[in-house]
Structure 1
């Protein structure tokens, strides 16, 4: 039994900024390999405008293919009530509703204010069946590419409204730009957990733009967070956050926790093999360190016993 949960977001966050379209069949094959490595909770795509993010235009097809992949627990990202309804109609069992704390980023991303997105979230909750799982992604919880560091009280104030709407929803604080630091991550999670003890599960979505992705994951773990987003091969980079590079690499997160003696349930060798393929995707922006380290030789980084 693993002590934490790693959510693989490469098939959504990792692919969305890639220009050359990845054939749907290849996406499904990579999903199968990720599941074979032990990654079962996977963000397979998003229901968004195909003109804004053409790489995501086949999300409904990939969602349908998940019916033949019993190990995969798919979740899809949605930015509005309309897109959430579309995802539920397509059979999505879990929705990830995203909105930004930052006014500038939310308007750049979805053309509305954070308060208007909160209203969309509340309408979506009222419109979908009760058995559809909900996760809330709070983008720019720490930092915004346009406004800079976000005051902690601003994030907490928006959470006050959102938690009230659905206390049982998993809530993910997102370092959209990768400019958060471990002290900031620890402080915000500590305050959020004290302010909202009714939240059943907290998660962290970390980017590695400045090389602090793993340090931020560790800081959140020390504050009791047990759900972490990561992207195989460190693929990623938000198209709506200029300068942001990839997510923290899944293989790096697995390596760190396993070295710490914290079980992840992931087969690192199998994961590294699929990460190598992910890093070779045309147009992809990869990152991470463990993939290269394990390629240096069989004993270069032997696991702790």
Structure 2
């Protein structure tokens, strides 16, 4: 396998955040350790947000502390505001993922402020980042908004024009928040953005599989040169602030596809499938994906 892909496991954040019954912290840590044992190294372990807004993620600092026992793990923490980003840094995080939406409707529904207000907070948070800390910039509703429909590429570019100069070394992730993007749209936006911002050397895609196009969109981004993809074990997930959106593409589906393509992910599919099977039966969870069922079918 000459080529390599980086899969970012976001199940412990995106997969768990919409589940109502609280998953015991000990069980979350067990899932984290089992995911690590499959070869996954970059894992979005949670989010620093208001416990009232997302009570499922209130124990994110406990998961961060558990990472100390996992050599080589890169625990990523999602933050939606400057205040929560500073709290994550104070908790010991050194890899933040700041999220804001292109769509004003979605950004206001999510964090009660306009996108440009969030952009200003991102800039201040970047300035406060200590040396050695890393930043990912998640551009939500880059393709489609649950309230306004398809998002114009010009609107995405206009927002990136403001954000990219604030931290050119940040990884930029375009997020298909609703799962309504199609492969041609994915290719068009990535090609345009990558050509406009040559100073950005790290790009990523966060794809949802609401309409069954998750893998197709990942492959379209791959053809554009993208090598970092978010995925959630068992296809768990769905944005609480995007009505109707289901989970991310399943991690096991991505690993299967890239294995068949001869692309190295460093992830042991045989070890991952049992973890995904257990994830799929978490009470209150909404699972997805196809590979898990295909590999465990009887007869």
TM-score range, shorter chain: over 0.9
Tell me the distance in 2 between the aligned counterparts of 1:156 and 1:109: 21
Judge conservation of contact 1:251–1:271 (CA < 8 Å) in 2. yes
Tell me the distance in 1 between the aligned counterparts of 2:155 and 2:74: 33
SS at match of 2:4: coil
Aligned residues: 298
Deviations 1:109-137 (A, max 9, x none): 00000000000000111122121100000
Runs of 5+ in structure 1 lacking a partner? 299-305
Q: Which residue of 2 aligns with 1:227?
A: 228
Judge conservation of contact 2:3–2:262 (CA < 8 Å) in 1. no
What TM-score do you get using the length of structure 2 for normalisation? Answer: 0.98
Tell me the distance in 1 between the aligned counterparts of 2:78 and 2:158: 23
Tell me the distance in 2 between the aligned counterparts of 1:53 and 1:27: 15
Q: Which residue of 2 aligns with 1:90?
A: 91
Judge conservation of contact 1:2–1:265 (CA < 8 Å) in 2. no
Tell me the distance in 2 between the aligned counterparts of 1:9 and 1:77: 10
Q: Which residue of 1 aligns with 2:125?
A: 124
Offset at 1:192? 0.3
Q: Which residue of 2 aligns with 1:160?
A: 161
Equivalent residue runs for 1:25-64 within 5 Å: 25-64=26-65
SS at match of 2:156: helix
Q: Which residue of 1 aligns with 2:251?
A: 250
Deviations 1:234-263 (A, max 9, x none): 000000000000100000000001001111
- After TM superposition, what 4+ stretches of structure 1 lie above 4 angstroms from structure 2? none
Tell me the distance in 1 between the aligned counterparts of 2:73 and 2:32: 8
Tell me the distance in 2 between the aligned counterparts of 1:130 and 1:154: 32
SS at match of 1:256: helix
Q: In angstroms, what is the RMSD of aligned CA positions? A: 1.0
Judge conservation of contact 1:35–1:71 (CA < 8 Å) in 2. no
Tell me the distance in 2 between the aligned counterparts of 1:36 and 1:127: 34
SS at match of 1:75: strand
Indicate yes or no: 2:155 matched with 1:187.
no
Runs of 5+ in structure 2 lacking a partner? none
Tell me the distance in 2 between the aligned counterparts of 1:141 and 1:27: 30
